[in-house]
Structure 1
Amino acid sequence: MDDETTILESEIRGQRMFVGEYRHNLDPKKRLTIPSQWRAQVGEPKGLYVLQDVHHKCLRVVPSRTMEPRLEKMMKVSLTDKNTREFVRAFARRADQVSWDSQGRIRIKDDLLTYADLTNEVVLVGALDSFELWNPNNLNVSGSMDEASFLNRAVSVDL
C-alpha cells in the first residue's frame, strides 16, 4: 500500500481504529510525519506514547487516551510490589511521550529510533488501537504473514 491508503472509519467500544499502511521518510531532523487521517483518529488529548514493542523490533505508538488508563492501572500496582516498580521504571525509561507539530511531525528519541533500526524510510502499520513503526527490512522478515497463515488466523478469530 502507499500513502494514498484509505483509512476505514471504524469504532469499537467508542474507540477509533488505526488501519492501513503508510510509508514516510524521516526528515533531516529525524522527524516523522503522521498521516492526517491518523492524527484525526487520535482524538483528545492530542498526545502519543512511543514504546518499544515487546514482540518485534519495531515501535508501538499509542494515543494518550488509550495509554493513560493502562498507566494508571500500572501505577496502582507498582506502589506495593518491588518487581512491578522495577518493570515500571524500565518501561518508562524506554518510552517517550510526543505530540505533533503544525506539519504533523513527531520527533522520536534517538534510542527508540536505534532500537527499531529506523534511519530513513519508515513503514507505519495500523494495529487497531495503536500503530507500529517499522524499518521496511524488519517488517518483511518478522512482520509479514503468508496468505495461508492469514486465512487460518482470520478463521480462528471469526473474521
Structure 2
Amino acid sequence: MYNVVKESGRKWEMKFFGTYYHSLDAKGRLVVPARFRETLKDLKTLYILQGFDGAISVYPEEAYHQELSFLEAQNFKNADARAYIRTIYASIEELEVDAAGRITLPVRIQKKYDIGQKVIVIGVGDHLEIWDEERYLSYERDACGNLEDLAAKLQEKA
C-alpha cells in the first residue's frame, strides 16, 4: 500500500495491495491488517459496498465518494444502470474503525456473503476486499489458472 501525490500536489490517492489471512472474533470483529491501518490511521469510518465474485468491498472515504460520483453520473432511465445503482446503494454500510484498528462485520453481512471465521483481506488498489477464506482460495486457483488468458483479453481491449 502506498500514497501517491497527484501532480497538483494536493490530492492523495490510497493504494492497497497484498493478501492477509485473518479471523473474525466471536463478536464479528476483524482486525484491519497493520499495513492498511498505517494508511487508514486518520480514518474512523470505512464503507461496505456490494462486491463482485462473493467479496465484500470496503472503501475509505475518498474512494467511497468517487464510487458514489460514478453512480450519480449514470442514467437512471437505463434499466441496467438503475439495477446497478439500486444494488450498490442498498448494500452500503458504514463501519466504524475502533481504537484497536478493528471493524465489526454485522451478522447480516456475514450471512449475505457467507463469511466464516477465517477470512482473507486483499488490497485491490483503491479499496479492500474481505473474502471467506475457502471461497477466495477457490477463486484464486481458478483465476490464476487462466491468468495468461485474462492478460491477453485485457491487452486485446487496450
Residue 112 (structure 1) shift: 1.8
The yes-or-no answer on 1:124 pairing with 2:121 is yes
Matched residue, 1:27: 25
The yes-or-no answer on 1:36 pairing with 2:29 is no
The yes-or-no answer on 1:59 pairing with 2:64 is no
- Structure 2 counterpart of 1:96, from 93, 101, 113: 93
Distance in 2, matches of 1:43 and 1:28, equals 25
Matched residue, 1:49: 47
Matched residue type, 1:111 = R
TM-score by length of 2: 0.75
Cα deviation, 1:4-49, whole Å, max 9, x if unaligned, reads xxxx535384412111111111111111110122022236544211
Matched residue, 1:4: none
Mapped contact 1:34–1:106 kept (Cα < 8 A) = yes
Q: Structure 1 unaligned runs (5+)? A: 1-7
- Structure 2 counterpart of 1:15, from 13, 21, 34: 13
TM-score by length of 1: 0.74
Mapped contact 2:44–2:98 kept (Cα < 8 A) = no
Matched residue, 2:104: 107
Distance in 2, matches of 1:53 and 1:110, equals 17
Mapped contact 1:50–1:108 kept (Cα < 8 A) = no
SS of residue in 2 equivalent to 1:24: strand
Q: Structure 2 unaligned runs (5+)? A: 7-11
